[in-house]
Structure 1
Amino acid sequence: MEQERLQKAIAKSGYTSRRKAENLIVEGKVKVNGKTVTELGTKVKPDDKIEVNNIPLEKEEPVYLLLYKPRGVISSVKDDRNRKVVTDLLPEIEERIFPIGRLDYDTSGLLLLTNDGDFAQLLMHPKYQLDKVYIAKVEGIPAPEDLKPLKTGIMDNGENLKAIKHRILSVDHKKNRAILEITLHEGKNRQIRRMMEALGYPVLKLKRERYGFLNLHSMNPGDYRELTPHEVKQLKTYAEKNVK
């Protein structure tokens, strides 16, 4: 019977990431067949009973979803201010899914969700440099040279914020607004809004339109679909190649 490391079994269940599972094991919060286990090298069989914080671990089939997140929704599974969260948009999904990364409350667009902790950790690794393409409507009409600091880097609150590339898609001289396409690899908190604010062109509206090869083609805000096995494999292959 095939065995796997305990932390991997916990991550595959969708309970948490493998790294956090390792912490739980070391802290003595995990039991296997009724016995507390603190050794990270421990291996388990498919029929072993695992408990985390005295709650039996339910083994779920992996789920991989692409959601068109609307504005005004939190990229989380719960909110202490009782605002709508992304899992509220997916009431028929019974598995314990969670978002991979986040989009700000006022930002719409492509968001991935899963119950596969290892998959999520791979995609959020700093070395996993997949293009994340955003469309931003900004106040004011920047000249191309005004946007050069986006690529060279903008310091804000001790963080160096950078875009990989950018371009002006259109301008509206009557309303004094512009539409920009900005591509990131990282995804720091409110990154594009902070960068454009620093340049004097505050963001009025922001949408993540693309995540690597994935897009929102023919989808409306609130729509979601399952990733195909081929798409999941592509994401994993790219991540494993770059994260090593």
Structure 2
Amino acid sequence: MKRKNEQSVPRQEERLQKVLARAGVASRRHAEEIILQGRVQVNEEVVQALGTKVVPTDRIVVDGLPLQLPQKEYAYYLLHKPTGYITSVIDPQGRKTVMDLMKTIPQRVYPVGRLDYDTSGLLLLTNDGDLAHRLMHPSYGVEKTYRVEVGEKIPEQVLKRLEKGVILEDGKTAPARVKEVSQKGRGSVPTYEITIHEGRNRQVRRMFKTIGFPLITLKRIRFGSLQLDHNLAPGAFRALSQTEIRQLRQTVKLT
């Protein structure tokens, strides 16, 4: 079930009553009764239709308590997404997806948010639906940092436009933090890091295009408390440490 005004999530659907049963709430038949009684909410909406299907990133609440699948089933991976892959589980057009890079893992996980086909960098994949929901929800303001390359140096007064927010076709962006990180020496490409907490479609690309400096490359290097490893090659992934998982959950006030 999809929230209004929320990022698109790859659809790997499962019947709601089956999810409730797997979480130990009740038997499948009793779970159907609980749904019919209006005791279940999906993404803050009461659901009473037995045919309702949900995905792992949906937030499910039963009798006012968030649904928690057994902790042992949770998995968390950090992928260095290369360009040329789409952030989806399945692509009807037959393009390569990030799941093609994750075939060796035993769990079924899902991307949290999206990186464009031409964007590389840090991508979190997990089956922890409650964490994924909060990380993508705008009310938690999870920060994302991108490293960008442009064709020429951007004047300081133009950078300040990004810091104050620029007008896009879907409204003004929230203030961003921007700094130059260009390498010294001849032939170096003007490089900047920009930190935002919104999640609009192709937002960073549109922001730089608006100020007259289209991007050459775009790479996400930080997501919440997670940092992209310098030694993690494009296309490679690793499991998160327990410390990273704990810090990430603390970021969105999950204990």
Give the TM-score normalised by the residue count of structure 1: 0.74
Post-superposition shift, 1:184?
1.0
Q: 1:41: which partner in 2?
A: 39
Question: Where do residues 68-107 of structure 1 align in structure 2 (5 Å cutoff)?
Answer: 68-107=80-119
Higher strand share: 1
Q: Partner letter of residue 149 of structure 1?
A: R
Contact kept, 8 Å, 1:138 with 1:179, in 2: the verdict is yes
Whole-angstrom CA distance in 2 between matches of 1:126 and 1:216: 22
Match of 2:144 among 85, 110, 132: 132
Contact kept, 8 Å, 1:209 with 1:215, in 2: the verdict is yes
- Detail structure 1 runs of 4+ shifted over 4 Å in the superposition: 14-17, 51-54, 171-177
Post-superposition shift, 1:144?
0.9
Q: Partner letter of residue 240 of structure 1?
A: K
Contact kept, 8 Å, 2:150 with 2:214, in 1: the verdict is yes
1:227 counterpart = 2:223: no
Q: 1:122: which partner in 2?
A: 134
Whole-angstrom CA distance in 2 between matches of 1:171 and 1:161: 28
Q: 1:157: which partner in 2?
A: 169
1:211 counterpart = 2:223: yes
Whole-angstrom CA distance in 2 between matches of 1:95 and 1:211: 22
Q: Partner letter of residue 133 of structure 1?
A: T
Change (3 A) 1:213 1:185: same
Match of 1:196 among 177, 188, 208: 208
Secondary structure of the residue aligned to 2:252 is helix
Post-superposition shift, 1:195?
0.6
Post-superposition shift, 1:197?
0.5
Secondary structure of the residue aligned to 2:78 is strand
Q: Partner letter of residue 139 of structure 1?
A: G
Whole-angstrom CA distance in 1 between matches of 2:52 and 2:186: 60
Contact kept, 8 Å, 1:154 with 1:195, in 2: the verdict is yes
1:238 counterpart = 2:236: no
Whole-angstrom CA distance in 1 between matches of 2:99 and 2:51: 23
Whole-angstrom CA distance in 2 between matches of 1:235 and 1:201: 33
Q: Partner letter of residue 207 of structure 1?
A: K
Post-superposition shift, 1:161?
2.2
Post-superposition shift, 1:175?
6.4
Q: 1:184: which partner in 2?
A: 196
Contact kept, 8 Å, 2:147 with 2:193, in 1: the verdict is yes
Contact kept, 8 Å, 2:152 with 2:190, in 1: the verdict is yes
1:32 counterpart = 2:25: no
Q: 1:8: which partner in 2?
A: none
Whole-angstrom CA distance in 1 between matches of 2:206 and 2:193: 15
Residue ranges of structure 2 left out of the alignment (5+ in a row): 1-10, 21-26, 41-49, 54-68
Whole-angstrom CA distance in 2 between matches of 1:21 and 1:160: 37
Change (3 A) 1:124 1:84: same
Q: 1:4: which partner in 2?
A: none
Contact kept, 8 Å, 2:205 with 2:214, in 1: the verdict is yes
- How many correspondences in the alignment? 211
Give the TM-score normalised by the residue count of structure 2: 0.71
